[in-house]
Structure 1
Amino acid sequence: MCVAPPTDAAHRVAARQREGAIDVQRRENAGLLFALAGFVLLSLGDSVIKTIAGAWPGTAVALTRYAIGVAMLGAMLAGSQGRAGFRMVRPRWHVLRGFSVALATICFFSSLFLMPQAEATALTFTSPILTALLSPLLLGERLNRASFAALALGFVGAVIVLRPTFLAVGAAALLPLLSALGMSLLMIGNRAVAGTQSALSMQFFVALLALPVMAVAAMAGHLSGFPPLHIGLPDWTIVARCAIVAVTATTAHWLLFMAAERASAARIAPMTYVQLLVALVVGYAVFGDLPDALSLLGAAVIVGAGLLLWRSGRTVVATTD
């Protein structure tokens, strides 16, 4: 039996398939670069926030950063979508999202004032693990064996990281874990409203609804009589730094959205751990902070737990800034 040689049409089809595969690979590579840039920007923004330590309370910093962010996002939303962009769908879930991001941001910013950035960042990486734990309760999802293993591993890593910090600053060392809890609730809220509105609308609503919570927290801290939470008149450089973080965080979120359009969430998820590397480098170079060997081990255990959870198909990316 003779086999007919490939025709010109078959060659053209094969060539188009090869070109299509190359285009897909290029898009995914571009998506990973967008994600890398986005996560690096978020970590650099955390470093800018840390420079305010001792000059202004974390509650006031969070409120100012988000007030500027809401103004920016509102202007962008009005210009791109008009009134339609401001119609809120499933408001109860948006309220949860706003409360969650307020909790996450206030606790994380405050933790940056009290402990090395790398340790605070490492502890917030327990967020995907907490999300896996809370999802069955709030969304009816089921945990698999890998999720249970990741939960146990993440808990061990968190205890290792907390060991020296808890001795140094006491219960305040738990702030990054509260931030991780806030991010977990945010991710669950994001799942509940996914696909109902544009990404820009989602970003605007979460910032807008976080503002009242941050305002109440800032006022309560100010009236508490606790000196570190007293809100005095800030130096202009503090407001400028808050504005810088608002711009970098908004840009980072846009980059992550661009990444999600080009690469799958499964490929993007591990890129979030670049934040820990940036935190280590900047923390040592700028603030002279270098976690001890056990803290680095604990961070590695937490990252390992997150990667295990990602491999089981349940990890979601979370950002607070």
Structure 2
Amino acid sequence: MSARQAGEAAGSIARDPRRLVGIALMCIAPVFFAGLDATGKVLAGTGVDPLLTTFMRYAVSVTLVTAFINPVTRPGVSHSRRLPLQILRSLLLFGSTAFNFLALRSLQLAETISIQFAAPLTVALLAGPLLGEWSSRMRLAAVVAGFVGVLVIVRPDALVAKPAILFSLGAMLCYAVYVIVTRKLAAYDSTATTMFYTGLGGLAVMSPLLPWIWTAPPSGTVWAMLIAVGLFGTIGHWLLVLAHARAPASLLAPFIYTQILWSVLLGYLLFGDVPSLWTMLGAAIIVASGLALLGEDALMRRHARRRAPPPPRDDAASRPQR
């Protein structure tokens, strides 16, 4: 983007307060997501089973969502035209959450979030065979560069020293397929229906296991943190919805990477973790690759708009008077 184009884009944003609000909301959401991960890691340090933390994540979320989106307030919301896909999507999100909490027992916040940010690259790679959205050479180059960033973090010596990296990779893969399934469902079910089913899979899987993983929280503080896990996740996703209602996704997407900054800060303040140079280098490569994908998408949309035929004129001056 040239300096002139950047100036025009900045002027356009400044003239539209809704976009500024959307950007602000998009910058706040990662604070809650980083807080979710940090709280999960603190709970793991107190001896709370990560699966119990996962259960509470979904119990709180489902309670809050169903208070507003349910068959009573929204008749027909539970009817899905692709129920198996809804169940699969919900289970994939559960898998991503559970793997992430398992990884956080021994990995730094910066390590897990850096690997998680490879999910958009994986989506770009899988979109071809699964959705028929084949990537251009530039997009494939960005994907390859992003996976090089992952390999910088997941080095053979790091994998031997920290096998929990495999959990983080599993979380990333689950989330990437979750995004693919979400995009497929958009053609069949409403957003409200998809939101209604989002947490039910995780809750259905974890509820029968509760007698085996349940241990009474030793203090009110631990109870508060378990509830906070669900609140942080729910509020973070709610802020994302509000942000996307006010600004286009292509404008908002880069700001999600601010989560790395919050993860590094919370990791240092709460656990004294200082990311290694390898982690920061790999994260920088992954973020740069993700931004390159976003730039390519914006460029393709701009070309598509220019090639689209102009809409037919339908004003009074162009019609014969009778």
Shift of 1:214: 4.0
Match of 2:151 in 1: 159
Shift of 1:138: 1.6
* Match for residue 227 of structure 2 among 226, 238, 243: 243
Alignment of 1:1-321 (within 5 A): 25-54=16-45, 55-78=47-70, 81-163=73-155, 165-170=158-163, 172-194=164-186, 196-215=188-207, 231-235=214-218, 236-313=220-297
Match of 1:5 in 2: none
TM-score by length of 1: 0.81
AA at the equivalent of 1:38? A
Question: How many angstroms apart in 2 are the aligned matches of 1:24 and 1:58?
Answer: 46
RMSD (Å) for aligned C-alpha atoms: 2.5
Secondary structure class of the residue paired with 2:44? coil
Question: How many angstroms apart in 2 are the aligned matches of 1:22 and 1:112?
Answer: 38
* Runs of 4+ off more than 6 Å: none
AA at the equivalent of 1:287? F
Shift of 1:95: 1.4
Secondary structure class of the residue paired with 2:245? helix
Shift of 1:231: 4.8
Question: How many angstroms apart in 2 are the aligned matches of 1:70 and 1:239?
Answer: 18
Deviation by residue 1:161-213 (Cα, 9 ceiling, x = unmatched): 1236423222x212111111111111111111226555444223111123233
Secondary structure class of the residue paired with 1:81? coil
Single out whichever of 147-156 and 109-118 deviates more from structure 2.
Answer: 147-156
Match of 2:312 in 1: none
Deviation by residue 1:210-269 (Cα, 9 ceiling, x = unmatched): 3233457x579x5xxxxxxx6533335434212112122212211111111111100111
AA at the equivalent of 1:35? M
Single out whichever of 285-294 and 200-209 deviates more from structure 2.
Answer: 200-209
AA at the equivalent of 1:258? L
Match of 2:303 in 1: none
Q: Which runs of 5+ in 2 are unaligned?
A: 1-11, 299-322
Contact 2:14 2:20 in 1 (8 A): no
Question: How many angstroms apart in 2 are the aligned matches of 1:203 and 1:111?
Answer: 26
AA at the equivalent of 2:41? K
Change (3 A) 1:157 1:93: same
Deviation by residue 1:44-67 (Cα, 9 ceiling, x = unmatched): 121111111141221221112102
AA at the equivalent of 1:249? G
Q: Which runs of 5+ in 1 are unaligned?
A: 1-20, 223-229, 315-321
TM-score by length of 2: 0.81
Question: How many angstroms apart in 2 are the aligned matches of 1:280 and 1:202?
Answer: 32
Question: How many angstroms apart in 2 are the aligned matches of 1:93 and 1:39?
Answer: 27
Question: How many angstroms apart in 2 are the aligned matches of 1:196 and 1:60?
Answer: 33
Secondary structure class of the residue paired with 1:291? coil
AA at the equivalent of 1:313? D
Deviation by residue 1:106-163 (Cα, 9 ceiling, x = unmatched): 0111111110001110000010011111112221221211221122112211111123
Secondary structure class of the residue paired with 1:85? coil
